[in-house]
Amino acid sequence: MTMQYHVITTERCNLNCKYCGGTRELPGLPQDIEYDIEDLVSFIEKDPEAVIGFYGGEPLLALDRLEKIIDRVPAKAFTLQTNGLFLHNLKDHYLHRLHSILMSIDGPRSVTDVSRGEGVHDRVMENLSLIRSKGYRGDIIARMAFSDHGDIHRDVTYLLQHFDHVHWQLDVFWTDLDTRGDVKAWLDRYDEGISRLVSDFGQALEEGKVQGIVPFTPVLKTLLTGEPTQIRCGSGIDSFAIMTSGSIEACPIAPELLYSNVGNIKVSTPEQIRNSQPVGPPCTECDIFRVCGGRCLFANQVEGWGREWFDRVCASTRHMIEELQGLVPRARELMADGILPPDAFDHPKINNGCEIIP
């Protein structure tokens, strides 16, 4: 089974997005990699199916480390999550070694720049055009953060015109929900937009096309096959974060929390950390757990917004799944008739860093 490792090349970031806060400073966590890259080589060598996803901060601020890791570490594949502003600095040799590139962009210019800074949208789109002009043929994914001012139907529809796939996270991790006005109304609007997106997705299926809407494809596959899933992002199961100190965390969101640490590259092995931090209640007691997989290990472990908000956010996950369930009978017919191929919903091929469930 493929394992994915988010390798944090740096905690530094050149942006200060409203929902994130930019550069992170935590006790005991260096701003840049301090372990010997050969220790990473020794750790990854024990996993012949390893996928390395470069992550930050902004990973391209430590370009020398990224290049050295690609040169030295024997991974099956490399992916990159980036704000996209420094992609022009990435040499062609390293660009074409990347299986997937996730570029942070929230939608049209007005939506992206209000949270990420003036001019960011245009600079991301310029670098998107640049890497395409260089013949990059990997998967290019728009990585959205969906916030109060977003319109999920409008923003995803816009990004689908430019990117191979679109994925998003709901802005419910990083800000205080109780200070954000009418969040319930915002989530209600989100649910309405999801219904419209599912309708568009279903219409495209009639033409034999699978739109690159990341959350929809693997969930629909589960609904079609009936095969249960584990947590979709893989955190604590088959996806981990290697921090700048060499510590191994279940995911990169909150390395300061006790549940997160599962080892260190100097003393641990991939097999020792596999399946080390499973999702627990209340997710495991939910009737859609086999389809959802638990949504988010961090949210499951800390319930930082309180149970009321936890349940409301999960209600949006339930809504998405129920809407996709409505496509199952027709999708089966389209596959049986040969309009859709048997592998129509086999995405992503590897764990490329998309959490799947928003």
| Boundaries of every domain in the chain | 1-137+238-275, 155-164+171-231+278-358
Tokens of 124: 């991301």
- Which letter, b or e, does each residue of 23-61 get, where b requires 16 or more Cβ atoms within 10 Å of its Cβ? bbeeeebebebebeeeebeebbeebeebbbbbbbbbbbb
**Please, where are the H alpha helices in the chain?**
37-44, 63-72, 92-95, 109-116, 120-133, 152-160, 183-206, 216-225, 270-273, 289-292, 297-302, 307-325, 328-336
> Partners of 263 in the beta sheet?
248
CATH topology for 1-137+238-275? TIM Barrel (3.20.20)
Round to whole Å and give the CA distance between 42 and 351: 22
Task: Give me the tens of pLDDT residue by residue for the chain, a chain 358 residues long.
Answer: 689 999 999 999 988 887 777 788 888 899 999 999 999 999 999 999 999 999 999 999 999 999 999 999 999 999 999 999 999 999 999 999 999 999 999 999 999 999 999 999 999 999 999 999 999 999 999 999 998 889 999 999 999 999 999 999 998 865 566 677 788 899 999 999 999 999 999 999 999 999 999 999 999 999 999 999 999 999 999 999 999 999 999 998 888 787 899 999 999 999 999 999 999 999 999 999 999 999 899 888 886 667 778 888 999 999 999 999 999 999 999 999 999 999 999 999 899 999 999 9
- For residue 247, give the nearest of 56, 35, 32 by alpha carbon: 35
* Helix (H/G/I), strand (E/B), else coil: 66: helix
DSSP single-letter state for residue 347? -
Contact 165, 139 (CB under 8 A): yes
Tell me the whole-structure pTM to 2 decimals: 0.95
Preceding omega of 341 cis (within 30 degrees of 0): no
- For residue 3, give the nearest of 49, 46, 35 by alpha carbon: 49
Q: Per-residue pLDDT tens for 263-312?
A: 999 999 999 999 999 999 999 999 999 999 998 998 888 866 677 788 88
> Partners of 247 in the beta sheet?
264
